[in-house]
Amino acid sequence: MTPQGTVLLAGGGATLPETVRAFIRFAGGMDARIVILAHTQSDIREAGERSVSFFEQQGARNVVAPDSVQEETLASHLHEASGVWIPGGDQNRLMRLLGQSGAFRQAMQGVLRRGGVVGGTSAGASLMGRWLPTGERNADGAVQRGAFSLAAGLNLLPNTIVDQHFIRRHRWARLLCAVLEHPDCVGIGLDEGAWAVAQANQLRVYKRQVVVLRAVTTPREKGQLMGCRDLRMSLLLEGDTLLLGERRG
């Protein structure tokens, strides 16, 4: 799923200094060009400045946080970047501002093709998948099609659906519905404080717990309800690894 480059996923809550230091290493070290995209926040400039300061405290020396929404401006920053970080906030806001731009998407993919790293925490992590939870809920307590709204993500970690604050906020049903609606995708649920790295089709957990959910057999529907005879769930701990690209039976 990630033939080139690295995708770093953090589950939300306070971002750990160790997470940022690892991101800097994956980007190429303290002098690597890192771009912060704080477009998940209502005040892009202020949020970007906070993130830049935090990255600099962890040793980064070449960090920028453009607040522009212009394709050409952002693309020029991304073309020079070996690392792109997206902080938490509202994933839908970033997609409204940037997600429809082909140039932006291609520039983000270009970071990975050059062997760089892209990553984010909370909403920033959700953006990495093919589909993302929007936060809208349409049916209480039911595992059925459309119970939770999904939208297209940036697809930087192809064929995945990434959720965050997962165990703390009891988002099991949301990820289950998403995987049943899109059984070609692997669901990844990161708890608060958790972080993991995807490289060369392998997910490695570096902190706390990460859930990986996939439909082994083809999901079924009866009326509005969805079902599946064989679901596979992995609950990964620090140091665990798992291949993401295993095929369904």
* CA separation for the pair 49, 177 (Å, rounded): 37
Q: ∠ at Cα 243 (239, 245), nearest 5°?
A: 155
| Distance set, CA 125 to CA 1, 108, 161, 211, 223 (Å) | 16, 14, 10, 14, 33
- Specify whether domain 6-243 bears CATH 3.40.50.880: yes
Q: Are the C-beta atoms of 160 and 129 separated by less than 8 Å?
A: yes
pLDDT tens column, 146-198: 899 999 999 999 999 999 999 999 999 999 999 999 999 999 999 999 999 99
212-222 pLDDT tens trace: 999 999 999 99
Domains of the chain, by residue range, sit at 6-243
pTM of this structure: 0.95
List, for residues 48-102, the tens digit of each pLDDT value: 999 999 999 999 999 999 999 998 899 999 999 999 999 999 999 999 999 999 9
